[in-house]
Structure 1
Amino acid sequence: MSQTVKPSVLVTGGAGYIGSHAVLALRDAGWPVAVIDNLTTGFRFAVPESVPLYEGDIEDAGLLERIFSEQGTRAIMHFAGSIVVPESVENPLKYYHNNTVKSRALIEAAVKAGVPHFIFSSTAATYGIPTVAAVTEDTPTVPINPYGWSKLMTERMLADTSYVHSLNYCVLRYFNVAGADPQARTGQSTAGATHLIKVALEAALGKRDSVSVFGTDYDTPDSTGVRDYIHVSDLAAAHVLALEALIDQPQRSLTMNCGYGRGFSVLEVLDAVDRVTNRMIERRMEERRAGDPASLISDPSRIRATVPWRPKHDDLDTIIAHALAWERKLSEIRGDG
């Protein structure tokens, strides 16, 4: 990045799983950072004491105006939203409100305040059921669930807004995010989480009786779903690099996949959790969930060519080991371990 003075960044949903890792990545790299989170699914303990935390909603225009003024905000990293695919099928209006309507309010507030840079936490769910082995950013976006649509609508709003306002943006489409901060400063803390690795670790530590395998009739090597797992700290690093890219070229906006370009099946992940924890998890075979594609693997060529992103934790056992360390620390924090 050409600038020596780093501008202030507001992280929405910064008390949540991915957002809290982005806060750490920004702070570790010397960026001034603040957080807004309504703490519906986030946790106050996930935000470092040195980072200002505004408890409130991104739909609150008055609060956003105050934050932008107090913090001198020049960039937004937007993580706040709902993320459970099956729930989006059951309750689509919740997702269109939390992910689309509220994002519109945030974008409008950013434009009104003259905030020039916006990074959006999007998803590989925007691709739906791809017909290619590895998904590029040019793969057609045809979501098969409201979660994917709610995110794609926000991508469209950013594109249209940037065309007529001084706002450049980066859309980062995540594949399956997993793991935890290597120093165990934060991790996935949500009760009742649906992330496979967290669920499996809870089972390995006796917090669950078993792990459900949803769908055993997919057209994949072992008939279970295949996903591209990315370490959350590598993902957070990608956000910082994306922000630097936006600042360096303010007339440019970006859309980039965030994944490793390699997939693991549900059963392969569970085998790895057994290996790392030295436990045998009970597996229960269930019907497919609504809205789940058989395989979703990224082609990360664009992000590697656009920013100097070189993952440090591209190893499934490492991802699981870091998540395990956090799960044990979380038990201490909550007093249930």
Structure 2
Amino acid sequence: MQMNVLVVGGAGYIGSHAVARLISEGHRVVVFDNLSRGHCQSVPQDTFVEGELTDSALVEKTLRDNDIDVVMHFAAFAEVGESVRKPAIYYQNNVVATLSLLEAMRRADVKKIVFSSTTATYGQPEKMPIAETTPQNPINPYGFTKLVIERALADYAHAYGFGYAALRYFNAAGAHPGGEIGEHHAPESHLIPIVLQVALGQRESITIFGDDYPTPDGTCIRDYIHVEDLADAHLRALEKLQSGEGICVNLGTGKGVSVREIVDACREVTGHPIPVVMGERRPGDPAELVADASLAEKVLDWKAKYTDVREVVATAWRWHQSHPRGYES
């Protein structure tokens, strides 16, 4: 069924891939973004609205004028370290702005939303893999701001009949297979793009922060989920939204990959030696974070298609080769 979808934060990394997927599936999309960290080149310009989520009159007008059925919400700051250094901007952007969005939706009588949540809501779980039954005890402001909105959505569902999905991502990675859109952060903070910058000659080496973790090769293990698989999960969630009910699921591959394995995959894909420098552990980096995504398979009929990290790296490399300076290329 075709829907009118407002994608807030749609000019960002994951949002832009969801927009492309929505359009390819025949949905009508309006993108709303303030471009503080997004890139207008990543989305169609004919249905782009530049604005702030805290401008509730503009948000409400956009919802009404476009007869929006459902909102996809990607507009958030998402760097753990930055959230510790600058908690104020995380509470303003991730919490205050989102509550403003929910109120604009309520006034416009739009009560369906798919929300980008995160594995950071779990903090540092003792048991792997991480299932949705794992207690949510975030250890940084970023994770806490996402948990606040999960709780708000549950309350809005109960009181106002909202239907929502909170999708808890693990480590988003990769790029659109066609190479037209991809990952561009300034400064870059994600591992795979940073390693590929070495292959592009933009960095001399990659620093591995700690090789004494209790993992097989001593480096941190993460679950890398391809951005196209995330986009697919969002579309599936759209079809499952029910008034007064919430869906909370993990999105990951269920397969852990170490930092060393990422570097090796990048070497294999690029043919570049990629020198490594060993650094000290970073405070607050858990040794291992891997998803149990079986509930998403059951509830959304979704499963990650990109399960070989070399395939993930190959799509990222295609993007970075054709866009060595990202969207400024």
TM-score, L = length of structure 1? 0.94
Aligned residues: 329
**Deviation of residue 334 (structure 1)?**
5.6
Q: Which residue of 1 aligns with 2:284?
A: 291
Deviations, residues 182-241 of structure 1 (Å, cap 9, x unaligned): 111211022221110011111111111221212222221112110000000011000000
Q: Does the CA-based 8 Å contact 1:184-1:326 persist in structure 2?
A: yes
Separation (CA, whole Å) in 1 of partners of 2:233 and 2:199? 30
Does the alignment pair 1:39 with 2:38? no
Q: Does the CA-based 8 Å contact 1:10-1:33 persist in structure 2?
A: yes
**Which structure 2 residues correspond to residues 1-337 of structure 1 after superposition, within 5 A?**
4=1, 6-50=2-46, 52-246=47-241, 249-331=242-324
Separation (CA, whole Å) in 2 of partners of 1:151 and 1:120? 9
Secondary structure of residue in 1 paired with 2:285: coil
Secondary structure of residue in 2 paired with 1:73: coil
Change (3 A) 1:144 1:333: closer
TM-score, L = length of structure 2? 0.96
Separation (CA, whole Å) in 1 of partners of 2:183 and 2:251? 18
Separation (CA, whole Å) in 1 of partners of 2:24 and 2:10? 15
1:309 maps to amino acid: W
**Deviation of residue 112 (structure 1)?**
1.6
1:81 maps to amino acid: A
Deviations, residues 141-182 of structure 1 (Å, cap 9, x unaligned): 011111111111111111111110021100000000000001
**Deviation of residue 269 (structure 1)?**
0.5
Deviations, residues 243-269 of structure 1 (Å, cap 9, x unaligned): 1111xx434310000001010011111
Change (3 A) 1:332 1:222: closer
Secondary structure of residue in 2 paired with 1:26: helix
Deviations, residues 43-67 of structure 1 (Å, cap 9, x unaligned): 11100245x1111111110110110
Secondary structure of residue in 1 paired with 2:37: coil
Separation (CA, whole Å) in 1 of partners of 2:36 and 2:283? 25
Change (3 A) 1:290 1:94: farther
Q: Does the CA-based 8 Å contact 1:260-1:314 persist in structure 2?
A: yes
**Deviation of residue 84 (structure 1)?**
0.8
**Deviation of residue 138 (structure 1)?**
0.9
Deviates more, 1:216-225 or 1:20-29: 216-225
Identical counterparts, % of pairs: 45
Deviates more, 1:290-299 or 1:211-220: 211-220
**Deviation of residue 291 (structure 1)?**
2.8
Q: Does the CA-based 8 Å contact 1:174-1:257 persist in structure 2?
A: yes
Gaps of at least 5 residues in structure 1 are none
**Deviation of residue 7 (structure 1)?**
2.1
Deviations, residues 17-48 of structure 1 (Å, cap 9, x unaligned): 00000101111111111111111111111002
Separation (CA, whole Å) in 1 of partners of 2:251 and 2:327? 32
Change (3 A) 1:333 1:16: closer
Separation (CA, whole Å) in 2 of partners of 1:11 and 1:335? 23
Secondary structure of residue in 1 paired with 2:127: coil
Q: Does the CA-based 8 Å contact 2:157-2:243 persist in structure 1?
A: no
**Deviation of residue 288 (structure 1)?**
2.3
1:319 maps to amino acid: V
